[in-house]
Structure formats: C-alpha cells, structure tokens
Amino acid sequence: MNANFGMAGYRTGKSGSIEVYARMYPGESLILTTYQVKPEGLPYPYYDHAAMAKEITGTWKVEFTDGGPSLPASSEITKLLSWTDFSDASLKDFSGTAKYSISFTRPKEKADAWELNLGRVCESAYVMLNGKDLGSLIGPDFKMIIDKKQIKKKNTLEIKVSNLMANRIAYMDRNNIEWKKFLNVNFAARLRQNSKDGIFNASSWQPRESGLIGPVTIAPVKKIK
C-alpha cells in the first residue's frame, strides 16, 4: 500500500555483475544487503509521475483532539497555514494533535497508483483515507504511494498532525508552571537567551510553526517496468 521512493532494487547484468537501481531524496539513506542465493518475493515497485500533481483544495475542518494547556475550539479553513497563525491566540501556546479533514474528487487521469504529498508538516502526520489507515509519516518529506483501488470517485482524507512540545514549554515557563523533573546539572541552559539564573528557561521563545502547512497534493504515478 505505502511505498517510499527512496529505496533500491537490483538486477543481474549480462556479465553476471549486479546492477543496483537506487532513488534517494535529501535526508534519506540506504542499507544494501547482498545474498548468496536469489531472494524470494516480488520486486520492489518504483513509480514516476504520470501527470502534474493537483492540490487538494476546499474547506478543511480542523479539530484539536489531544494536548494542552487546553483544547482549542474546532476551526474551518480554506487555506492551510500554521495553527499558531489562526485567529485563536491560545494556539500559540498549544502543543498536541489536530485532525484535518477534507473531501476531494479523484482526478481524471489514469494511474497505476497515486502519490499523496502533504507538503510541509510540523512535525509528524498520521493519514487515513476513507476510514482506512494509510500509516504515519515523520519526514524528511511527507509522501506516500496509495494503491489505485483505494482512491474512489469521492474521498474523505483525514490527517492527524502533532507538533513539538516547544510552544507549551514556553507557555509553562512564562507562567511559572513547574515541569522540569531533572536536576539542573542535566538541564543546563547552554544558551544565554535560554537562561534564567543559570537554569534553563524557555519563556523568551517565539511560537514555532505547527500543524499542516501543505500544500497537500495528489498525483497519478506509473510503475517503472
């Protein structure tokens, strides 16, 4: 169901040499394993774009499902942006998870499969399509291959995005809420701007971008023979 483009396959050359086919994106790495016998299983599938990607647009429903210091109210947006830029000022302090939901129509192009690209995500994403789990993505990019049978004429896409704890930690330090459970020797400030009486303190931190920033696109792909 899911496939990462940054993996490798191989074939035997005419001279008996091994030719390794690899495709890697920035931030990815590979571990190649050799065998004395031919490995069993189907060849790893590779895909190329069959047409230009199309952005999934419309009204996104954003529901905050877990986190704190409190759960913000749900929102509806037509343009993806960091939730720290929503009209609700409390979101600048929020660390946790939000569920983004939208409906979209399958593009008209023919495809062997489809590539879903979430664009920019701060920081991790869990994806469901038409109620079925497609898996989690942690970067460096946020792409996955979806079997063509799973893309229906009308679809519901749900993406749960979790940000870092930085915004809530800054909120707690600004409000003198104790959260550290370490001796200072294990939590030295190191940077002057993060120090208060020599102890780590994040009260001066500015809100970090959070959530699904996108753009979210879908593209038809063809299998490389």
The model's pLDDT over 38-61, given as tens digits with 9 standing for 90+, comes to: 878 887 788 999 999 999 999 999
160 with 59, same domain: the answer is: yes
Position 18 in a domain: no
Number of independent structural domains in the chain: 2
Among 113, 118, 114, CA closest to 102: 118
Position 44 in a domain: no
C-alpha–C-alpha distance, residues 175 and 152, integer Å: 49
110 with 62, same domain: the answer is: yes
190 with 112, same domain: the answer is: no
Query: 110-164: per-residue pLDDT in tens?
Result: 999 999 999 999 999 999 999 999 999 998 899 999 999 999 999 999 999 999 9
Query: 173-205: per-residue pLDDT in tens?
Result: 999 998 887 665 556 677 777 777 777 889 999
Provide the residue range defining the domain that includes 148. Answer: 54-165+208-223
Position 8 in a domain: no
Q: What is the CATH number of the domain that holds 85?
A: 2.60.120.260
152 with 193, same domain: the answer is: no
> 91: which 2 tokens?
């979101």
More confidently predicted of 208 and 5: 208
Position 40 in a domain: no
62 with 98, same domain: the answer is: yes
76 with 108, same domain: the answer is: yes
158 with 58, same domain: the answer is: yes
pTM as predicted:
0.85
Query: 87-99: per-residue pLDDT in tens?
Result: 999 999 999 999 9
Position 190 in a domain: yes
Q: For residue 46, what pLDDT is reported? A: 85
126 with 116, same domain: the answer is: yes
CA 43 to chain centre: 27
144 with 63, same domain: the answer is: yes
Query: 99-119: per-residue pLDDT in tens?
Result: 999 999 999 999 999 999 999
